[in-house]
Structure 1
Amino acid sequence: MADDRARQAGWEFTDDRGSTATGPGTPPRVVAYVRAGAALWEYGIRPVAVYGSGHDSARADPAKLGGLDPREAAYLGGGADITAEVLRELRPDVVVDVTYDGKSAYALAEDAVEQAGVPVVALGVGGGAPLRTILGRFAELAAAFGAPAPPADGELAAAEAELRELAAGAGTAGVVALSPGGPEQVHLARPETWPELRHLADLGVRTPDPGPGPGVNWRTTDWDQALEAVGGAGVLLADARANAVPLAELAGVPAWQQLARTAQVLPWNPELPPAPGAYAQFLRAVAAALRAPGPAAG
């Protein structure tokens, strides 16, 4: 009886494109981009299915799943391949995606969703928004969906305080994020375009800019130039997604080996679930690396 009353309550939410979606009851049946689905999972909202981006294959990328249990949420492959028929079979009340430009859903085949008659909610995760704002919007969405209770913010606040205190005495040790492109090239993250890297800077962590060059979010260059640009970093955040080149394939790259010998190397998911627990874990890992600098890549 209580569940029936909850389903009758309905929900309404205006997303970061200014589009308002409504549904008949809470919790809704959700299909979500895997990053958004992993965030909702932390709030107790269980998507019936998730999908990847154009970078993803037919199998779910483990780096993107967060705490989401793939045995309980079907993986549909890339969002561009989702058909109206698939959505009709799943009977979702809403599709949840992210947006980088505030205009369009990132990973979704929106024409298929329109044909299926399912509302879409897209929340901003672009570099222009503060990390706390991004997390707050996902918390609001989870609440609208009838989440049992928001995750305790204290874990994230404690991780922020720890890192802030540590960074104040960390000297010149800096944090650099990168995505290996193979033996010939590497993509160096421009910290001002990544909310979590800007958040590190706000907490006092030094996040060196990789220097001029093509690319808005990344500077793509060769390894020798990367060594020259960021060779003094104390921590390297290495893209661990399936579309990034594995670090094991860089064994014959001298510049990478020099970087790895002098810095702590941490796996990094540039698409962390926008929820407090996931980011608390990220901040704690960075703090641990700054506390004990040294090679970790082998």
Structure 2
Amino acid sequence: MSVSRRGFLAAAGGLGTLMVLAACGQEEPATTSTATQAATAPAGPWTFTDDRGKKLELPRRPARIVAQVGSAAALWDFGIRPVAIFGPHKLKDGSKDPQVGNVDITKVAGLGNVWDEFNVEQYIALQPELLVSSMYVNGTLWYVPEKSKDTIEQAAPTAGIMLTGKSASQVIGRYAELAQSLGADLGSPEISSAKARFDAATEELKKIAANGLKILMMSGGPDTMWVVNPPEYADIMHLTEAGLDVVKPDKVDEGGFFQSLSWENADTYDADVILYDVRTQALTFDDMMKKPTFAKLPAVEAGQAYPWRAEAPFSYQGYAEYMESLVADLKKAEKLA
């Protein structure tokens, strides 16, 4: 994956080619008593076919699971408790990175917090039975370093869940299937309630779509405004499937995820609403307001710029909260002349 693509996906747009991601300390390995998954592994065999088409087979259901933070957040909401995580989970001040969702980072081991950081020795010492990660490119596990990929994959089977080319509901469905295979009860009151909220928020979005709002989704960097390309984002695909009219850029950069614009060209696309990236490494709204061309955009002047929470976990809980917040914002918006 090119640095620019990786940078945008991991840190809101290749800000200094990921130099903004300063390394943080690693946690000590979690003990078995504090970081075990919810269900007890049975004696019977376990099988799961991941999105690489790879059929995984083990003599018993894996209990010692290591997961990239996005996957860990999804599995956690389904009741599966990893023993360790890797990828951005702790901010510089020691607080949780939003990407890690509801995961209790005090009860799991941290194998790495930044790109290309993965403590292989610690991973092997944990005696992992399964590694789970998402994929933006089929066959490439997110945040698994290329330099140590072979060693990591020899230690335990790996499962990959594809994020691009699918809607959020499809991705959530795949994590639900994986979680169920690992012992999750998809009929639990908590999951059932969250799914009902997810479905209800989706229906609300369909009603909002009838208003014909033109929506621009973007992320900001010091010198660049990135207009995201809807088909490459599972959450945006869910919005467009609900009928929302999201701007699709005319000229996407290599890789297809976004179009890079200078701030001088921030007015390239007309929009009634702007949804701006609020990931940790993205330019804040206040900082973007210091860009005159952004501040003068009709949607911004009309007070119709709202947060885009691109890090919502792929679970019914995560997306129910995300979409309920989005619905509340979009209900305030109106078509601009």
| TM-score where L is the length of structure 1 | 0.85
AA matched with 1:44: G
Q: Deviations over 1:167-198 (max 9, x none)?
A: 21x23x2222111111x211110112212212
Q: Give the counterpart of 2:166 among 129, 142, 152.
A: 129
The aligned residue for residue 161 of structure 1 is: 203
The question of 1:218 aligning with 2:258 is answered yes
The aligned residue for residue 63 of structure 1 is: 98
Question: Once the 2 structures are TM-superposed, how far is the Cα of residue 10 of structure 1 from its aligned partner?
Answer: 4.2
Question: Once the 2 structures are TM-superposed, how far is the Cα of residue 64 of structure 1 from its aligned partner?
Answer: 0.6
Alignment of 1:11-30 (within 5 A): 11-26=46-61, 28-30=63-65
Alignment of 1:100-119 (within 5 A): 100-109=136-145, 110-115=149-154, 117-119=155-157
| d(CA) in 2 for partners of 1:59, 1:98 | 25
The answer to whether the 8 Å contact 1:23/1:93 transfers is no
Question: Once the 2 structures are TM-superposed, how far is the Cα of residue 4 of structure 1 from its aligned partner?
Answer: 9.7
The aligned residue for residue 26 of structure 2 is: none
Cα RMSD of the aligned pairs, angstroms, is 2.6
| d(CA) in 2 for partners of 1:10, 1:59 | 40
SS at match of 2:294: helix
Deviates more, 1:32-41 or 1:74-83: 74-83
Question: Once the 2 structures are TM-superposed, how far is the Cα of residue 5 of structure 1 from its aligned partner?
Answer: 7.0
Question: Once the 2 structures are TM-superposed, how far is the Cα of residue 58 of structure 1 from its aligned partner?
Answer: 11
Question: Once the 2 structures are TM-superposed, how far is the Cα of residue 27 of structure 1 from its aligned partner?
Answer: 5.8
The aligned residue for residue 324 of structure 2 is: 284
Question: Once the 2 structures are TM-superposed, how far is the Cα of residue 113 of structure 1 from its aligned partner?
Answer: 0.8
Q: Which runs of 5+ in 2 are unaligned?
A: 1-37
The answer to whether the 8 Å contact 1:29/1:94 transfers is yes
AA matched with 2:180: A
The answer to whether the 8 Å contact 2:62/2:129 transfers is no
SS at match of 1:78: coil
Q: Deviations over 1:140-184 (max 9, x none)?
A: 10001011335222221111111112221x23x2222111111x2
| d(CA) in 1 for partners of 2:319, 2:332 | 20
The answer to whether the 8 Å contact 1:17/1:104 transfers is no
Classify 1:223/1:137 alpha carbon distance in 2 versus 1 (closer, same or farther; 3 Å).
Answer: same
| d(CA) in 2 for partners of 1:62, 1:258 | 32
AA matched with 2:52: R
SS at match of 1:227: coil
The aligned residue for residue 42 of structure 1 is: 77
SS at match of 1:287: helix
| d(CA) in 1 for partners of 2:93, 2:63 | 26
The answer to whether the 8 Å contact 1:61/1:241 transfers is no
The aligned residue for residue 267 of structure 1 is: 307
| d(CA) in 2 for partners of 1:5, 1:188 | 45
| d(CA) in 1 for partners of 2:157, 2:181 | 15
Classify 1:155/1:5 alpha carbon distance in 2 versus 1 (closer, same or farther; 3 Å).
Answer: closer
| TM-score where L is the length of structure 2 | 0.76
Question: Once the 2 structures are TM-superposed, how far is the Cα of residue 57 of structure 1 from its aligned partner?
Answer: 8.2
Classify 1:155/1:225 alpha carbon distance in 2 versus 1 (closer, same or farther; 3 Å).
Answer: same
| d(CA) in 1 for partners of 2:108, 2:317 | 20
Deviates more, 1:35-44 or 1:246-255: 246-255
